[in-house]
Structure 1
Amino acid sequence: MTKIKKTKQIPKLSYLSMLVMFNLGAAASVSAEDTISRDNEENVERITVTGIRGSLVRAMDLKKSSDGVVDGISAEDIGKFPDQNVAESLQRISGVAIDRESGEGQLVSVRGLGPEFNAVQVNGRTMATISGGRAFSFDTLASELINGAEVHKTQTGKLQEGSIGATINITTHRPLTVGDFKAVSSAKSTYDELSGNYSPSFSGLVSNIFDDGKFGVLASFAYSDRDSRSENGQTAGYITRDLSLDDGTTYSDVYMPRNYDQIVQTENRERTSGSLVLQYAPSEELVFTADALYSQYDVSYRQDILAHWFDNANIVDATLDENNTVVKLDSARNSATDYLNRLSERPTTTKALAFNMDWQLSDNLTLVADASYSEAESLNGGRTTDTVAGFVNAYSFDNSTGSSLPSLTFAEDLNPAVVGSNWASQFGDDIEDEILELKLDAEWLVDRGALAKVNTGVFYSDRTLATTYYNTNWRVSVLHGGYPEGVDLPDELFTVFDADGFLSGAGGGSANQWLKFDSYEFMDFLLTDAAINGLDDPAAARETIAKYDGFTAHAEPDAYKVSEEVAAAYVDFTFSGDLGDMPWQVVTGLRYVETTTRSKGAQTELLNLVDVNNTGDYQAVESDDYRPVSVKNTYDHLLPSINANIEPIEDVILRFAYSESITRPTLTEMSPSTSYGGGKLDSLNASGGNPRLKPYESENIDLSAEWYFDEASYLSLAYFTKDVDNFIDDGVSHEVVTLEGTSYNYTVSRPMNLNSTDIDGYELAFQHTLSYLPAPFDGLGLMANMTFVESESSADEVDNPLPLPGLGDSQNLVLFYEKGDIQFRVAYNNREEFMQRTTNWAGGAPIYVEDYAQVDVSGSYDINENFTVFFEGINVTNEITRKRGLYENHVLAIVETGPRWSLGVRAAF
């Protein structure tokens, strides 16, 4: 709600120092409050505008006053952010789209470029992430700790390189900005409609200043414990196969679904976050700031799965469509109904420490030094299970009717006595990410002719990403497998699972009941004498189990880590003046950056190729031990930029920007290991990572016209184009390997800099408050934006051009009402179909996410000056996520997460 608050102004000494820190430092860019001083005395009153309109005014002022093309969001008040996390709010900005996991925003794409192409910072610092790459997982940060966020769509010399999409800077609260004592807290309960569970969350923030405003302390805390459920009808992809049916009919190169599974996932996400900020301003020229941030985010889930795996050798009848796709099939020979249980735990921790000094050496010169360290750790290694039991069965699959879901009919048998064992394993990745950053920035106010100021500085970072994969040895995993030869299992291991209207929001699944069991109880039984004695060779089985410590997940010896050192220096020149009555500004800059990467790993050494049976098939002879391998790579770039704007008419701003930018390769693509295989001498193949990858390089042009026609109201139109080189894709190289004096030609598959891509698009944004309407309609307002983006790649095939991953149009509309003690908001977000990945693991075809539109609502009522009750509704229309392959009927996933409703209370003192 919009409110005018009168509070004591902090002393002038601290406030001036704070302005220096926010306007010139690297630590923060957006003030949490809109402050108007009434006079120049030390103890005066200030006016702070809060609520929806206040947040819109601050975001609009940021956009209007920025050197380049920048959009932002702002908290409505301290501790009050409009969505469950920052990603959910960022999607309201033109050009921004999000990927969701379990119904919660997690990754952000900007202007059609996926999460790996966008840099995310917190208070101007890069945060370590548990994504395993460069993409930042927004669900690790609680929204209650956040003050605002900026999306920088154009580049300057000062802005840290590493993004050809956008740089997103999240800001947190500062005690010297908050001022006198402030305490806020909130508590809410969330009802997950699909699971039927209630989940609690609460947060609090306390801030105060001492010693006449020279010292400030702010502490914040947020906790949530969310139980949810999702339902997924999925295939693992469509593969190309030849079919021979019982009637003698044969088909070549048909597209066949690999499987069809019904998956019910119950999940728990427990997040504990906190921050501590200390500020000290010994004089009006000097401010010290120390930050600490901590987030513990534990995700665990259980999947109960009814699965049917399609083996083309067992198919007795099939129907194909005009695309040579199998739309109906009957499988009757040695097929199976599988019951799967997957359990997973992924405890993650993110920590960050930082220190900032903002020193105004003179009226014209300011120096800002910043040091930060962050680390993120995800410990999923060996904490995910994959266990399979089932029985021989026959089934029919039908995807020919055009209905929302395929149908699968089979002989349902819920008798545990018929169920045997198949597969069991534990696996998962441990991921560690560490980042150290050091910055020194200087700003010199020149004011000589057109030259207004000069910004210059240096930057250093050292980042290390380590990934270790854990897995049960496959010899143990398959030890008890095979139907009908699998080990008989105790009936008490199984109970009947009731899916309770599986995928009812999409029309309903094929079955609502199947058997479920617990992975760990299943594996424990397989290690008992009763299970082992049922095998063909119990003695050999015991030897295998002892050798590999049962189902224990072991670290794979080919683990690797990639370290990356970056050194940079920049200079920006700001020119300003008036062309007649038209104010103008030009910021031109240059940034030099040198990057050094070191990829370290281990691999077995290829010793020889031997034709064992004199058949022409050569077997690879490898060393018994893994041996270390390390590769160093260095490259540098000179990155120019220019941002120009002019105000030809009052409140109308025209902008032009040109820049060159880079995005470094994903660290997970830079493994130094290569795996060599055997085979025919004319078709020897190998695969591996590529530690010598070059970064993506982009030339960018932006044009923007913006009209600020009223308070919290504007209309803008932007055009952008990006010419991207060194685009990374899966490629092959021909390499010669010499073994014992003989040279062999290998075709090696690895990521390579292969293609170039052109991206261009338009953004249209409109924001308006209807305060001129008669009461009570004068509380209405709206925000709307649309993004249209296209790409053209050198890799495009004439008859099958592929878009970039993440590229797609989007539309957003937010209607709100705010008057007196009442606030209400309805948000509509639509993301049109986009390609999520270029390949899926089964068939190699791309993965598309179809059009998805979601409606969220929220509202609040002020009981009095201190207490507010509020409600929220997420995905209130129960929209379904659909993924497909090459053709529309290549169903990959149909996911229902259901609506969520929250009711809570907020207190502020």
Structure 2
Amino acid sequence: MTGKQSKLGYLPMMVMINMGVITSMTAQAQNSVQVAEDEPVEVISVRGIKGSLIRSMDIKRESGNVVDAITAEDIGKFPDQNVAESLQRITGVAIDREGGEGQLVSVRGLGPEFNSVLVNGRTMASISGGRAFSFDTLASELISGAEVHKTSYASHQEGSIGALVNVTTLRPFDIDGFKASGSIKGVYDDMTGSTKPQLSGLISNTFADDTLGVLLSFSHNERKSRYDSAQTFGYLTRDITLDDGSAEAGVLMPRNYDQISQTETRDRTGGTLVLQYRASDNLVLTADALYSKYDVDYRQDILAHWFDNSQITDAELDSNRTLVKLSMGRGSNTDYLNRLSQRPTETKAFGFNAKWQVNDSLELTGDIFRSEAESNGGGRTTDTVASYQNNYTFDNSAGAELPSIQFDKNLSTDGVKAGWGSRFGSDIADEITEAKLQGEWAADMGVLAKVKFGTTYYDRTLSSRYAESAWQVSVLYGDNPTPVLLPSSMFSKFDGGFLSGATGNPPQEWLTFNSEDFFNYLLSDAAIAQLDDPAAGRQLIEEFGGYTAHPSNSAYEINESGLSFYTDFFFEGELGEMFWSLNAGLRYVQTDNASRGQQLFLLDLLPLNNGQNEVQPKRSEDYLPIEVEHEYNNLLPSLNASLEIRDDLIARFSYSQSITRPELGEMSPVTNYSGGKVDALNASGGNPKLKPFESDNLDLTLEWYYSEGSYAAVAMFRKDIDNYVDWGITDETVTVPSGTYQYKVGRPVNLNSARIDGYELAVQHLFSNLPAPFDGLGVIANMTFVDSESSSDDPANPLPLVGLGDSQNLILFYEQGPFQFRVAYNNRNEFMQSKENGYGGAPIYVDDYAQVDISGSYDINDDLTVFFEGINITNELTRKRGLYENHILNVIETGPRYALGVRATF
């Protein structure tokens, strides 16, 4: 027995919680060394914050690779309301929020698409439309823990150059006999003043001498929320001529200014069912199912102004030639918009696992899994516009977070006319089938401790179909030369304290209406009679079914399958009195893609007899199917080494090669070819031939475990990334009957390389040595610093990689007897969200965001706990900007949320 094995008896890596859950490091970290059956195991009765932190720290300490973890404090008690919110407490993890709720995770500056998220080691289907997993579909009450693997084993499923996140749920054999728990709480949303219920429960039991186990869990969450947003679509370079005759060239002017108040209801119901059967002492069979139904409905009431440089009558510029104040006339409009949206989603997952201890040395595990997710948003979002001619002044000269708008006329329904109207949205479906076979051989041959080997097959199909109203009907009223007036009875007044948490003086009142009333009126005889040609208008409405959303023929489907084989060798021994371990592995992956769609094919280019050397495309009359296949393979080595310099000091070194497959939505086979001048023909489309991102990864860490539950760690890492996907313009030759033509084609391409350098600092300390009652105090502090360079950088203006930014966490907690309290501060420094905003071409930056959350609880007895939670209690705003600080792109307020509830375990 090695020196390391002799220490396992005292390590708190087997912890029995009062509720009966036994968390075993040998179960949670795949590379842990087995504990001999006759070796004494210290049992520690601990739960709550400290118990969770001790278990999480032990996972980190005993793992052979670089990993951080969070574990449930009790059954059904995860540290935060949302799994992503808890993950952001981990060093190097940052999150993106939607409606104030954590949705996507970034690790070490790499965005959600670069990180694989598994549930119980399996890939979950997602309704994100890509590879990123949306955490808001999974209730935290169903989760027992999560691990963030920052370096790789060969046994780790490929697909992440950032990190692999594995979320775990409970199994009945993890729980000793009968256990039931449940919680109910009311969640108060400060922006809406509403309180909604959230409840969850779990019941588990084992039968027939613990050979049969059943676990059932469920959760139901309701939320009514609101967020306010002030936005522009970017800043354009334009020339303006004012009423006084003066002219200014090269002015940076905002494209528009919108004020959006969105009220939203979220209804999430989920659950798990797990059946386990111990067929013999050596064979355990597990069948499980997971279900989540998540419906999001919202309403947007919008005050909108579109700035046309030809309508500017007066202006004021700052030193960088940004237009900070303008007056609009010459036919300018004030627009009132209403948008309604429904996004019903379902996620289903079914799995079967068999674990067979063949003999004392060999264990085989087989796993098959099916996951489906669908979001039925096709045609379920409205976009409706009412407007009136108006003169107004936009003023952003005061340096406040929000500009002001002054109207000549406001809150009058006289002269309000119908504009654009449409229904639109996409249906997204994602289906994944996985099959795995893994073996683990306890070699015990000198320094060779064990060998892992296995194979994985998966098949994934993502489909997306967009639906929208016919454009002929959408523009019917807005393009009518004579304004079609809307009835006063359709409108009401919005008056809701818009963006009260921001500085500035934005309008607080405007007119609002309901999209369905808008559609109903425009389909009525009274509205049609106002058209210049009522008969033609009625014919269009009948031909296209009014505002019915019609599925687009340009839908696409991406099928991807992969087959991989891997071997991991685990070595261990002693160097003097220092224990060392080494893992060396190799993974081979073959990936096959088939991108399917349909499009109008380019049949020919016909010359236009206009003397301009122009051609116009001749396309097929019908949409025809198109399919492109693509195959690639990768050989991915990995190396993880650790050295116990002392019993409490561990140094680690890791090297690996990893891949991230391109976004599925970028692999559409459809290309749209335009006409125009022969020497300036353009086209755009997807790219089914994209290759994966490839990264060489290097990590160095030093971890000091100086007392129980306390440690300090420092890490340095580097990632050299090739095949970085970016939007690129390529020269492509197109041959048609009339001749051969050169096109400039815009599509995603493997264009660049990039390098990320960073380091992490982390401290976790329990003040156990202080005199009571201060011995219940604890602190967690960590920070991540990242930098990058890319082959696409302009030497005069180098840009960071998208999503790359520093982050910090500070958590103070107190736990003594029945009391628990925690305050958590999370800060994400400024990062670039996009290289281009689509209008002015400048990047989009997200400013520093610091959020403070609190939670506390009191144990009435061993079975009953009351608790409270506060999310974003300082009402932090999200701010996005363009090239300069005063190029405001978005200011968002989601407000605080508070919860009060009771939890019981039996």
TM above 0.5: yes
Shift of 1:454: 0.8
Shift of 1:255: 2.0
Is 1:55 the counterpart of 2:76 in the alignment? no
Asked whether the 8 Å contact 1:7–1:45 carries over to 2, the reply is no
List aligned pairs for 1:380-529, cutoff 5 A. Answer: 380-482=377-479, 485-499=482-496, 501-529=497-525
Aligned partner of 2:327 in structure 1 is 330
- CA distance, structure 2, for counterparts of residue 46 and residue 372 of structure 1: 35
Aligned partner of 2:6 in structure 1 is none
Shift of 1:136: 0.6
Asked whether the 8 Å contact 2:173–2:206 carries over to 1, the reply is yes
Aligned partner of 2:762 among 765, 768, 785: 765
Is 1:646 the counterpart of 2:643 in the alignment? yes
- CA distance, structure 2, for counterparts of residue 840 and residue 168 of structure 1: 30
Aligned partner of 1:344 in structure 2 is 341
Shift of 1:507: 2.2
Is 1:376 the counterpart of 2:373 in the alignment? yes
List aligned pairs for 1:553-702, cutoff 5 A. Answer: 553-616=549-612, 617-702=614-699
Shift of 1:323: 2.3
Aligned partner of 2:728 in structure 1 is 731
- CA distance, structure 2, for counterparts of residue 166 and residue 758 of structure 1: 16
Asked whether the 8 Å contact 1:672–1:690 carries over to 2, the reply is yes
Is 1:280 the counterpart of 2:277 in the alignment? yes
Shift of 1:864: 1.3
- CA distance, structure 2, for counterparts of residue 23 and residue 362 of structure 1: 21
Asked whether the 8 Å contact 2:388–2:415 carries over to 1, the reply is yes
Aligned partner of 2:313 among 313, 316, 320: 316
Asked whether the 8 Å contact 2:662–2:690 carries over to 1, the reply is yes
Aligned partner of 1:884 in structure 2 is 881
Asked whether the 8 Å contact 1:36–1:48 carries over to 2, the reply is no
Shift of 1:38: 11
- CA distance, structure 1, for counterparts of residue 478 and residue 805 of structure 2: 44
Q: Tell me the secondary structure at the aligned position of residue 60 of structure 1.
A: helix
- CA distance, structure 2, for counterparts of residue 354 and residue 871 of structure 1: 35
- CA distance, structure 1, for counterparts of residue 862 and residue 528 of structure 2: 70
Does the C-alpha gap of structure 1 residues 615 and 640 become closer, same or farther in structure 2, counting only changes over 3 Å?
A: same
Does the C-alpha gap of structure 1 residues 530 and 612 become closer, same or farther in structure 2, counting only changes over 3 Å?
A: farther
Aligned partner of 2:532 in structure 1 is 536
Aligned partner of 2:3 in structure 1 is none
Shift of 1:798: 1.4
Shift of 1:329: 1.1
- CA distance, structure 1, for counterparts of residue 829 and residue 593 of structure 2: 37
* 1:386-420 deviation digits (Å, cap 9, x = unpaired): 00001000111111221111111112322223211
Shift of 1:278: 0.7
Q: Tell me the secondary structure at the aligned position of residue 627 of structure 2.
A: strand
* 1:364-389 deviation digits (Å, cap 9, x = unpaired): 00000010000100111100000000
Aligned partner of 2:857 in structure 1 is 860
- CA distance, structure 2, for counterparts of residue 622 and residue 579 of structure 1: 73
- Equivalent position amino acid for 1:812 in 2: N
Aligned partner of 1:192 in structure 2 is 189
- CA distance, structure 1, for counterparts of residue 745 and residue 167 of structure 2: 41
Shift of 1:74: 0.3
Does the C-alpha gap of structure 1 residues 8 and 156 become closer, same or farther in structure 2, counting only changes over 3 Å?
A: closer
Shift of 1:530: 1.0
- CA distance, structure 1, for counterparts of residue 216 and residue 587 of structure 2: 36
- Equivalent position amino acid for 2:184 in 1: A
- CA distance, structure 1, for counterparts of residue 248 and residue 591 of structure 2: 53
Aligned partner of 1:871 in structure 2 is 868
- Equivalent position amino acid for 2:827 in 1: N
- Equivalent position amino acid for 1:661 in 2: S
- Equivalent position amino acid for 1:67 in 2: G
Asked whether the 8 Å contact 2:400–2:504 carries over to 1, the reply is no
Provide the TM-score with structure 1 as the length reference: 0.96
- CA distance, structure 1, for counterparts of residue 745 and residue 201 of structure 2: 55
Shift of 1:6: 5.5
Q: Tell me the secondary structure at the aligned position of residue 56 of structure 2.
A: helix
Is 1:364 the counterpart of 2:361 in the alignment? yes
- CA distance, structure 2, for counterparts of residue 685 and residue 45 of structure 1: 71
- CA distance, structure 2, for counterparts of residue 415 and residue 324 of structure 1: 35
Shift of 1:23: 6.0
List aligned pairs for 1:26-41, cutoff 5 A. Answer: none
Aligned partner of 1:227 in structure 2 is 224
Asked whether the 8 Å contact 1:352–1:375 carries over to 2, the reply is yes
Asked whether the 8 Å contact 1:391–1:419 carries over to 2, the reply is yes
Shift of 1:485: 3.0
Q: Tell me the secondary structure at the aligned position of residue 132 of structure 2.
A: coil
Asked whether the 8 Å contact 1:392–1:483 carries over to 2, the reply is no
Does the C-alpha gap of structure 1 residues 45 and 907 become closer, same or farther in structure 2, counting only changes over 3 Å?
A: farther
* 1:247-302 deviation digits (Å, cap 9, x = unpaired): 33333333211111111100001000000011111222111111100000000100
* 1:333-366 deviation digits (Å, cap 9, x = unpaired): 1101111000000000000001111101010000
- CA distance, structure 2, for counterparts of residue 221 and residue 904 of structure 1: 17
Does the C-alpha gap of structure 1 residues 116 and 6 become closer, same or farther in structure 2, counting only changes over 3 Å?
A: closer
- Equivalent position amino acid for 2:712 in 1: L
* 1:53-104 deviation digits (Å, cap 9, x = unpaired): 0000110000001111000000001111010111001101111000111110
Asked whether the 8 Å contact 1:391–1:483 carries over to 2, the reply is no
- CA distance, structure 1, for counterparts of residue 267 and residue 704 of structure 2: 44
- CA distance, structure 2, for counterparts of residue 641 and residue 4 of structure 1: 34
Structure 2 portions without partners, runs of 5+? 1-14
- CA distance, structure 2, for counterparts of residue 89 and residue 624 of structure 1: 53
Does the C-alpha gap of structure 1 residues 4 and 433 become closer, same or farther in structure 2, counting only changes over 3 Å?
A: closer
Shift of 1:545: 1.2
Asked whether the 8 Å contact 1:422–1:483 carries over to 2, the reply is no
Aligned partner of 1:899 among 885, 888, 896: 896
- CA distance, structure 1, for counterparts of residue 848 and residue 512 of structure 2: 34
- CA distance, structure 2, for counterparts of residue 870 and residue 423 of structure 1: 49
- CA distance, structure 2, for counterparts of residue 30 and residue 122 of structure 1: 24
Asked whether the 8 Å contact 2:18–2:46 carries over to 1, the reply is no
Asked whether the 8 Å contact 1:8–1:46 carries over to 2, the reply is no
Structure 1 portions without partners, runs of 5+? none
- CA distance, structure 2, for counterparts of residue 506 and residue 513 of structure 1: 16
Shift of 1:30: 14
Bigger mean CA deviation after superposition, 842-851 or 854-863: 842-851
- Equivalent position amino acid for 1:212 in 2: D
- CA distance, structure 2, for counterparts of residue 163 and residue 39 of structure 1: 38
Asked whether the 8 Å contact 2:477–2:531 carries over to 1, the reply is yes
Asked whether the 8 Å contact 1:729–1:754 carries over to 2, the reply is yes
* 1:538-563 deviation digits (Å, cap 9, x = unpaired): 11111211221110111110100100
Q: Tell me the secondary structure at the aligned position of residue 455 of structure 1.
A: strand
Asked whether the 8 Å contact 1:8–1:45 carries over to 2, the reply is no
Aligned partner of 2:707 among 707, 710, 729: 710
State the Cα RMSD in Å.
2.1
List aligned pairs for 1:787-806, cutoff 5 A. Answer: 787-806=784-803
* 1:217-251 deviation digits (Å, cap 9, x = unpaired): 10000000100011111111222322222333333
Shift of 1:689: 0.3
